[in-house]
Amino acid sequence: MQNKNFKSHTTKKRYDTVIIGSGFGGSVTACRLAPYLKDALCVLERGKRYHMGEFPRDFFKPKDWWWCNEGIDGWTGLFE
């Protein structure tokens, strides 16, 4: 189910609230604030973008947890 109000890659010069990290705490906070802040909420996440069905779910396939970011030395993982 896709949220009709979701805007991907929309950048503004100013936000009322910025949440850093979309982990459990950041996601819940963003979800609770979104109805009140409308377009004034920004959630920053530096990790890899996962599309539906791509998130690694098999604990015994650790190679699926890693990716290489261009311009950064080495590999980055799901768990740092």
- What is the reported pTM? 0.52
Does some domain include residue 22?
yes
Does some domain include residue 1?
no
Does some domain include residue 37?
yes
Furthest C-alpha separation in the chain: 43
Question: Residue 63 belongs to what domain range?
Answer: 17-48+57-75
Does some domain include residue 27?
yes
Does some domain include residue 11?
no
How many domains is the chain built from?
1
What sign for the dihedral angle of Cα 58, 60, 65, 66? negative
Does some domain include residue 80?
no
pLDDT in tens, 32-69: 999 998 778 898 887 667 778 777 777 777 666 666 66
Does some domain include residue 2?
no
CA distance 66 to 21: 18
